[in-house]
């Protein structure tokens, strides 16, 4: 690989916002983007937890700022992006990671649960993307938006209908925004993590029989580790992916390919 090609993977000089960054996948992606050279705004609802991520990035030699934000509120999405632009001088990368899940038989799903999941996973992602794209358009420099989809974007999972609906919608949104915003040089892509053990999914892993059943679906024979996600995020955010938009990359140990 030539030095020029290798340099395309660098995020030096870029400004990124990662939503839901206080823990799990969001925290890992924020640390990864910072390690690749980006200045990173980490957003979430808990300032104390965000400060821990900011400290971890700073201790590793990076630059980070906290943004207290509730993505279920469009006004918060806009205010958060405005805060990032003010603090970092602009916005080049948005990672829509904030999400929630609660398994429940579909006959027992009520409106409150449906709204809570869809408002976080889909509505929040759209209005954060809208605010970010507006800032990128005003700057005239384009940018990259990365949505965190799921295996449920492609496969139906019993007792996870609101979550699967939100993540399927997010995949459709990724493709539609990629087509619409391409003239603005704003690329919109997604990743679909497979089975990763995080705070959001921890309850499943308490069931040994569930673990054994899920591992049988993974050709690589192991669950994902958070570091498995960072390389793909850095790549899709970087100039190395300058001609890639509207795509969703499965990071699942081969699960979708083998079904």
Q: Which residues are catalytic?
A: 163
How far is 116 from 128, CA to CA, in rounded Å?
A: 16
- HEC string of 199-240 equals CCCHHHHHCHHHHHHHHCCCCCCCCECCHHHHHHHHHHHCHH
What stretch of H or E contains 215?
helix 208-215
DSSP reduced 3-state for 146: strand
DSSP codes of every residue in 42-72:
EEES-HHHHHHHHHHHHHTT--EEEEE--TT
Place of tokens 């929630």: 100
How far is 157 from 146, CA to CA, in rounded Å?
A: 23
Q: Is the dihedral of CA 147, 23, 123, 87 positive or negative?
A: negative
Backbone angles phi, psi at 138, to 5 degrees: -60, -35
């Amino acid at each position: 690989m030539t030095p020029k090609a290798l340099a395309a993977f660098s995020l030096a000089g870029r400004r990124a916002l990662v939503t839901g960054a206080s823990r799990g996948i969001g925290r890992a992606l924020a640390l990864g983007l910072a390690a690749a050279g980006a200045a990173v705004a980490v957003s979430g609802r808990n300032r104390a937890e965000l400060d821990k991520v900011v400290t971890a990035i700073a201790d590793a030699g990076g630059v980070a700022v906290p943004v207290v934000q509730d993505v279920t509120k469009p006004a918060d999405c806009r205010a958060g992006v405005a805060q990032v632009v003010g603090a970092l001088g602009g916005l080049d990368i948005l990672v829509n990671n904030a999400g929630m899940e609660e398994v429940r038989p579909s006959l027992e799903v009520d409106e409150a649960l449906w709204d809570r999941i869809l408002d976080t996973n889909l509505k929040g992602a759209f209005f954060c993307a809208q605010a970010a794209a507006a800032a990128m358009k005003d700057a005239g420099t384009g940018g990259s938006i990365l949505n965190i989809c799921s295996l449920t974007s492609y496969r139906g999972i019993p007792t996870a209908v609101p979550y699967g609906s939100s993540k399927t919608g997010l995949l459709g949104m990724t493709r539609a925004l990629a087509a619409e915003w391409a003239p603005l040089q704003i690329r919109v892509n997604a990743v679909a993590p497979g089975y990763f053990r995080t705070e959001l999914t921890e309850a499943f892993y308490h069931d040994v029989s569930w673990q054994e059943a899920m591992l049988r679906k993974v050709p690589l024979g192991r669950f994902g580790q958070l570091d498995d996600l960072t390389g793909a995020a850095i790549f899709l955010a970087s100039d190395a992916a300058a001609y890639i938009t509207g795509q969703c990359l499965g990071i699942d140990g081969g699960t979708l390919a083998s079904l």
